[in-house]
Amino acid sequence: MASSFKLASPPHVADCPASTHHVDESSIHGACRASKPSHARRIGNVHGSRLPPCQLVARLASRGHGQVRLQRTYSSPNVAANSPATAQKGLFDLAIDISRTLMNGNVEMQFTQFNPTGVATSKSLTKVGIAHEYLLSARDLRIIDLPSNGFPHILIREDTLLMHLFDLRLLVQADKVLLFNVDGVEDNTTRRVFTHDLEAKLHRPQAPYKRATEAFELRVVEVALASVTSTLEAEYLLQMADKEGALVYSALRELLDISRRLARIEKRARLVRNAIQEVLNDDADMADMYLTDKQRGQRHLAHEHQEVEYLLEAYFKANDAIAQEAASLAENIQRTEETVKSILDVRRNQIMLLEAKVEIAMLSLAAATLVAGWYGMNVINYFEQSPLAFAILASGSLVGSALIWRSMIRRLRLIQLRTTRRE
* Annotated domain spans of the chain: 84-345, 348-420
- Residues of the chain above pLDDT 70, percent: 71
Which of 203, 221, 390 lies closest to 309 in space, CA to CA? 221
Distance in angstroms (rounded) separating the CA atoms of residues 82 and 189: 41
3-state helix, strand, coil in the chain (%, to 5): 60, 10, 30
Is the separation of the CB atoms in 271 and 142 below 8 Å? Answer: no
Higher-pLDDT residue of 350 and 24 is 350
Contact (CB, 8 A) for 228 and 170: no
Q: Using the 8-state DSSP alphabet, how is residue 16 labeled?
A: S
Residue 40 has pLDDT above 80, yes or no: no
Superfamily of domain 84-345: Magnesium transport protein CorA, transmembrane region (1.20.58.340)
CA distance from start to end of the chain? 73
Tally the residues of the chain: 423
Do the beta carbons of residue 116 and residue 215 sit within 8 Å?
A: no
Mean pLDDT within 142-155: 80
Which string of DSSP letters, residue by residue, matches 140-171? GGTTTT-SS----EEEE-SS-EEEEETTEEEE
b/e per residue 377-397 (b: at least 16 CB within 10 A): eeeeeeeeeeeeeeeebeeeb
Q: Does position 318 have pLDDT exceeding 80, yes or no?
A: yes
pTM, to two decimals: 0.56
Helices (H), 250-280: 252-280
pLDDT at residue 243 is higher than 70: no
Residue 113's region, left for phi above 0, alpha for psi from -120 to 50, else beta, is beta
Query: pLDDT category, 167, cuts 50, 70, 90?
Result: confident
**How many CA within 13 A on the CB side of residue 63?**
6
For residue 334, the cross-strand partners are: none
| Angle (deg, nearest 10), helices 216-249 and 306-375 | 10
Distances (CA, A) of 123 to 108, 120, 129, 130, 421: 10, 10, 12, 11, 75
227 pLDDT above the threshold of 90:
yes
Q: Is the predicted pLDDT of residue 104 greater than 80, yes or no?
A: no
Q: Which residue has the higher pLDDT, 132 or 380?
A: 132
Q: What one-letter code names the amino acid at 399? A: V
Spatial contact of 169 and 180, defined as CB atoms under 8 Å apart: yes
More confident position, 96 or 224: 224
Q: Which of 118, 320, 301 lies closest to 229 in space, CA to CA?
A: 320
Distance CA 140, CA 137 (A): 5
| pLDDT for the residue numbered 380 | 74
What span, in angstroms and rounded, lies between the C-alpha atoms of 423 and 401? 33
Q: Where are the alpha helices (DSSP H) in 100-207?
A: 127-133, 189-203
Higher-confidence residue of 22 and 154: namely 154
Residues 120, 138: contact at Cβ < 8 Å? no
